[in-house]
Amino acid sequence: MSLTFILDNLRFALEQLGALAFFVAAWLAFSAFRQRRDLASGSWFFGFALLTIWHMMNAFGFEADLFIYAGYIIRAVGLLLLIISLSKGRPFQGVAMTAVLVLPSVTKAAIPFNIIGFIGVSIVALLACLRCIREKNRVDRPLALGFLFLSVTELFLLFSNQNPLVGFWLIAHSAEAIGYLLLAIWSQHYLRTHLKEEIILVFLTIALIVTTIVTLAFSTFIIARVEADTENNLSINAKVLNLAIEQLKKSALAEAKYLSDRSDIRSAIQSNDFAGLQRILSSSLESEDLGFIAVTGRDGAVILRAQAPTAKGDNLSGERAASSALAGNPLVTVEFGAGEGFSVRGAAPVISGGKIIGAVIAGFPLDNAMADNIKKITGLEMSIFNGSVLAATTALNPDGRTRDTGTQVTDETVLADVLRGGKSLTADTQFLSRAYIASYLPLHDADGKIVGMISSAEPQQDILNAAAATNRLTFLVVGLITLFCVPPVYFLAQKLLE
Amino acid sequence: MKYIIISIGLLFAGIAALNLFGGSLVQEIIQPVKVSESPYNGPAASPAAGKTAPYFELADLAGKKVRISDLAGSPLVLVFWTTWNPAAADQIKIIDDLSRQTDPPQFKIMAIDSQEDRAVVANFIKRGGYQVGSLLDENGAVSESYKITTLPAAYFIDAKGFVRDIELGTLSAAVIVDKAKATIGAR
């Protein structure tokens, strides 16, 4: 199972711990609010209550923009209420609130809201520290320290991306865990004098822990199967794609041989009838379903290209396919050439009177159009690499309009195992800072040399989204069942105290 | 205490009201992220947005003549492209995927290949398995009348034949649908 998935599950458990810590604090604050009914206790209670809600929302990781936006607002208001409560000793002038008239998109709002979160948590930590110092209060020290660690978390999260394998992410969530534990220690001190609340909270804590463990165990099992199936499917996909390219090779060689045997092409070359040759090649390009056709003279200089009639005169004798054909040996290979690009190409000699008078090179560019067609037939996302450089892909970038062709694979495991080692590989990998599960196969030329790779990949985010959905559903079901036990425990605690 | 409750209540009421009645204000937070897509925005020199789209009659890949008037009656997206331009070629994939959607859009899409041989265009379309219709502007006259200087270029034409928007550069499917829908609603 991938480390990404394990860490994502740990994040889920951590957010539940945070929700529990804030819930306990909110419950205690509610007890105080019931007695005092003032601004300070009320804002203390609502602040912790809103932060509890925010942590639950964060744990489930809903992707809808409206949900994320609501979470930002709930968190900001919760922190503001805590700040109001902690500053209750100072003259309270009231806060001028401006109505929100236009809401920007979530991605635009994310950065300022994350900064607001960091500032808010830092202010709460500062005010809590000042209160401890002013009142010489050792009991509230865990509260101050807890928020201090949470502000460190917010600071590191500002500079980390969502990749759980990056150092800042790990530091941030470690600090977050310490912060929640300190809040729990602080809450526990006050619980000693509230027996009924302590009984109920102990039960709720146990229920939450059980629910979280069941959820994580279930999703771990399910997602492990999903990951294994995904890897298996990707491996099969890569083999299917390899088969498609092998078929292209056979077709390219057969077409090159067929075209080189045609008497009209032979006559056109001999008589230098370029107009006639262009008509024949244009017609053949379409009728034979080829990607390109090039005809060279005896010396390897291009006489005509069907797909680009004005691109001629360059010499192909340095290319493997053309040189083999000019030596009298038909050949099919995968190679890169300036004229035809990275392509599958078959080449065959044109022979007249027992002498080689030229060569026909026919084939298929390994480009985005070819990849798109294979995807339409097989339904598989694929990528083709010329060496380590992405030559063709079916996948569009998140912007929905560009492809990453021309970029390079930098994953050393892929380069070592596939490109240099000639092995197939199915593994977690990174490409352009995005995490994927990918299966790679090497591409060989006619001499058995590795000239590139083909791959089939799935973004890891798809699997994480499936995990999050599983977590939500399982947690909801198990949590609801557990909560049915709360009223009996409550009444039992009530009776015990009576 | 009551001020806190009133404030929080107003806040949630405000969010609910925006959600229910905010219309285009809330649209922005529930739409997918749109990256600024092309370095050029705004109409070309001619034909400017609001003017009638220039008339053309071009052959498709099967040799059948198609006039712009044949495409009237519903909004039209005209995409100028060419096979040798990778960005333009990617645009063909995007509009091909759009045209294959099971819920067909309320507008027509037509590609016009600029100054390439029929065999080359037919070969590209066939290799990619693309089904989107493409007309051939082999001598470049139509591209000239639409003042095409950058490929790909998309013209959004309303049902009455007026150009409503011009976009240069590759457009995502979401942007094409948004702009075409705006054309539907344009008066």
How far is A316 from A297, CA to CA, in rounded Å? 10
- The predicted pLDDT at position B1 comes to 52
* B88 close contact with A: CB closer than 8 A: no
Note whether B114 and B143 are within 8 A (CB): yes
Cis bond before residue B47 (omega within 30° of 0): yes
Q: Cite the beta strand spans of A387-487 per DSSP E.
A: 389-393, 425-431, 434-444, 450-459
ipTM over 0.85: no
Determine the distance from the C-alpha atom of residue A279 to the mean position of all C-alpha atoms in its chain, rounded to a whole number.
49
Per the CB < 8 Å rule, is B129 touching A376? yes
Cα–Cα dist A186/A191, whole Å: 9
Mutate one of B31, B93, B167 to test the A interface: name it (highest A CB count within 10 A): B93
Per-window interface: B 165-184 vs A, CB < 8 A: 170-175
A interface test, pick of B2, B3, B4 with most A CB neighbours within 10 Å: B4
Q: How confident is the model at residue A266 (pLDDT cuts 50, 70, 90)?
A: very high
- State residue A190's pLDDT score: 72
Instruction: Please list the helix, strand and coil fractions of chain B in percent, rounded to the nearest 5, in that order.
Output: 40, 20, 40
Residues A319-374 have pLDDT tens digits of 999 999 999 999 999 999 988 899 999 999 999 999 999 999 999 999 999 999 88
Q: Helices (DSSP H) in A352-410: which residue ranges?
A: 368-378
CA of B5 to nearest chain A CA: how many angstroms apart?
A: 9
Reported confidence tier of residue A100, pLDDT bands at 50, 70, 90: very low
Mind listing the pLDDT tens digit for each residue in B65-85? 999 998 888 889 999 999 989
Asked if the Cβ–Cβ distance from A402 to B90 is below 8 Å, we say yes
Structure tokens at A152: 């460190």
Considering CB atoms only, which of B11, B128, B174 is closest to A372? B128
Residue A20 — pLDDT band, cuts 50, 70, 90? Answer: confident
Measure the CA–CA gap between A45 and A40, rounded to whole angstroms: 9
Q: How far is the first Cα of chain A from the last one, in angstroms, to the nearest whole number?
A: 52
Q: From start to end of A77-223, where are the E strands?
A: none
Token pair 């001629």 is found at A312
Q: Is A383 helix (H, G, I), strand (E, B) or coil?
A: strand
Query: Is pLDDT at B29 greater than 70 in this prediction?
Result: no
Q: Give the span between the Cα atoms of A331 and B137, in whole angstroms.
A: 38
Residue A18 is predicted with a pLDDT of 85
- Suggest the residue from A97, A289, A310, A401 to mutate for an interface test with chain B (most B CBs closer than 10 A): A401
Residue whose tokens read 């994310």: A110
A432-486 residue pLDDT tens: 677 788 899 999 999 999 999 999 888 877 777 777 777 777 777 777 777 777 7
Contact B33 A286 (CB under 8 A): no
Highest mean pLDDT among A261-275, A452-466, B89-103: A261-275
Which of B28, B117, B123 is nearest residue A105 as measured by Cβ atoms? B28
- CB count within 10 Å of CB A344 equals 27
Of A190, A102, A103, A187, the C-alpha closest to A146 is A187
- Which of B26, B123, B173 lies at the smallest CB-CB distance from A286? B123
Instruction: State the burial class of residue A406 (Cβ atoms within 10 Å of its Cβ: 0-12, 13-18, 19+).
Output: exposed
Give the mean pLDDT of A111-136.
83
Total count of residues recorded for chain A:
498
Render pLDDT for A410-422 as a digit per residue (tens, 0 to 9). Answer: 889 899 999 999 9
Which residue does chain A place closest to B30, by CA atoms?
Answer: A65
Residue B42, pLDDT above cutoff 50: no
The per-residue pLDDT for B140 is 92
